[in-house]
Amino acid sequence: MTETPDPSPDQTLTGHALIQEYLKTLDGSPGVYRMLDAQSRVLYVGKARNLKARVSNYARPSGHSGRIARMISETAGMMFLTTRTETEALLLEQNLIKQLKPRYNVLLRDDKSFPNILITGDHDFPMITKHRGARKDKGQYFGPFASAGAVNRTLNQLQKVFLLRNCSDAMFSSRTRPCLLHQIKRCSAPCTGLISRDDYAATVADAVRFLSGRSTAVQETLAAQMQQASDDMEFERAAALRDRIRALTQVQTVQGINPRGVSEADVIALHMEGGQACVQVFFIRAHQNWGNADFYPRIGADIDAPEVLEAFIGQFYDTKEPPRQLILSHPLENADLMQAALTEKLGRKVEILVPQRGEKAELVEGAARNARESLARRMAEGATQTKLLKGLAEAFALPAPPNRIEVYDNSHIQGTDAVGAMIVAGPDGFIKGQYRKFNIRGDELTPGDDFGMMKEVLTRRFKRLLKEDPDRALGLWPDLLLIDGGAGQVSAVAQIMAEHGVQDIPMVGVAKGIDRDAGKEEFHRTGQRPFALRHNDPVLYFVQRLRDEAHRFAIGTHRAKRAKSVGATPLDEVPGVGAGRKRMLLAHFGSAKAVSRAGLEDLKAAPGISDAMAETIYAFFHDKG
């Protein structure tokens, strides 16, 4: 991959004329091009099998869609990156789109990771657990599942069937008697030797078979065991096996669609309407449906379905492992190229299909129906949201309905573990990916000083905005600030805004009214008398929802911080003692205080602690002068 030095054509040229100048320096290499505006912001990222041929299309003065014509007219510069192959160009293009978020590209806005089930492989008695993120731990992974709820429901039933442990290795090694999960028949208690290593390994093998799609063999085995127990008049054991078979059946029933002819695939269907799009993805693994998720990529009015799907697939699998098959509702423009790119990424063949009949076509039809219904709901909610934003603008005398509302709240207990929280809302509802938390770190603050906390939060927020988007061109600045508080809070925030020269942003304080009763809120604005909205005004309910969401996020952030501080021990400060060594030390000695009092020889005898580390720990607690 090589960066092509960009030519320096006449700086007064823009649009078609500028692109014509760039054409003089290009050849037929594959690569990626970027179109830039006058402020060097990326307007569009594209790939090309032949850079010269592709870019020449933009040099034509006519024959473009409205979106492309606007983009060309705004182009004031270009950048080029040549690659060895077109497949490499495709992967680079999608990576740059996700990173740069160009205005004229199809953009997957709500990308997220999906959870898996992990059966660990580094212990004599493996654990079954939920796993999210990179697959770094040893073991067998099964997924992805569409949501944490889908994983939790499946794990709950699998525990009933296979009785595998879900406790950590440290907890496992420290048990002296079975835990509650054994009492309620969710674990076979390998920690206390109530099941042999071989018998436990057999149940692990059954769980792997089930999660790999060979559930029939597992059920037949359990049914045979139940019949044998009944014949032997071991009725309690037979009842327990019956319950396990019932739990196994329940997993399959909850999954609903379980295709016989599709072992591993993502079913991806697109529905477009009114300049909006919904992509529905069904995860089929081991002949089982492991849930579905919907996505709403940002598109333009004149983009066609193949382009949207290609962009979605490229960005979606940028950080995810693709399955063996992608079953699509629409053909791709470059299906062979995308197939080659995903095959290269996975290390084995990935097949892209657009079925016309049979079971696969029925799966696509179901996904397309879900996409259509999901988009209809979103559009209805969007219409309601638009109406509410318009009402909000009228109520607070804003120049236009706000596209970005930032709501702030603080949370603490008598000043301890104080945090500030910011939530963001707009025409599409809550924008959770842009929520922010602020650990209050002002040492000079009086505990419980809400004014001081809000001052610190807003000061840090405005400093960041002034640094990242000084020209307010990236859409990072709010159109409206909502503050939890009355006249005092509003006055304090107005002072902060004046110090940073941002008095032009509307700001409203939301204060509980008489008796702090919800529904009697008063609204405060700088230099104006407080006012209230009608008790049944939809705008009032909307503001309450915004404030409650900010409060929920602040409380959750505060609880997480408090839990972390409660779980903190002096061991956290010992050089070289990470989470793993901390767990081993606590499991061996019982408490951090016992570790601090332990002799050097005792520390050296602890599992996983080298002589050098034992000396470091001993010195930390005993050589403080």
CA distance 540 to 395: 9
Please check whether residue 504 lies inside any domain of the structure: yes
Cα separation, 329 vs 309, whole angstroms: 9
Same domain, 343 and 414: no
399 part of a folded domain? no
Alpha carbon separation from 572 to 203, 426, 435, 446, 538 (Å, rounded):
38, 41, 28, 27, 50
Question: Are 163 and 288 members of one domain?
Answer: no
Give yes or no: residues 133 and 181 share one domain. Answer: yes
- Gap between the Cα atoms of 478 and 481, Å rounded: 7
Same domain, 38 and 122: no
Give the Cα separation of 96 and 263 in Å (integer). Answer: 33
Task: Return the amino acid letter for 615.
Answer: E
Residue 590 predicted with pLDDT over 80: no
Residues 574 and 557 occupy one common structural domain: no
Greater model confidence, 392 or 515:
392
Q: What is the mean pLDDT of residues 579-595?
A: 80
> To the nearest whole percent, how much of the chain has pLDDT over 90?
35
The answer, yes or no, to whether residue 625 has pLDDT greater than 50, is: no
CATH number assigned to the domain comprising residue 545:
3.30.420.340
Same domain as 301, residue 232? no
Are 71 and 151 in the same domain?
Answer: no
Q: Are residues 490 and 428 in the same domain?
A: yes
Note whether 38 and 65 are within 8 A (CB). Answer: no
Residue 393's closest CA among 350, 351, 427? 427
Quick one: average pLDDT of 282-309? 88
Q: What is the CATH number of the domain that holds 34?
A: 3.40.1440.10
Q: Is pLDDT above 80 for 247?
A: no
Which position has the token pair 């940073």? 500
Q: List C-alpha distances in Å: 596 to 122, 570, 590.
A: 30, 8, 11
Instruction: Check whether 340 has a pLDDT greater than 60.
Output: yes
Question: Which range of residues forms the domain containing residue 153?
Answer: 116-255
What is the average pLDDT across 364-391? 90
Domain endpoint, select from 34, 66, 100 = 100
- H or E element: which one contains 412? strand 405-413
End position of a domain, from candidates 255, 272, 294: 255
3-state SS string for 308-339:
HHHHHHHHHCCCCCCCCEEEECCCCCCHHHHH
Overall number of domains in the chain: 5
At residue 598, does pLDDT exceed 60?
Answer: yes
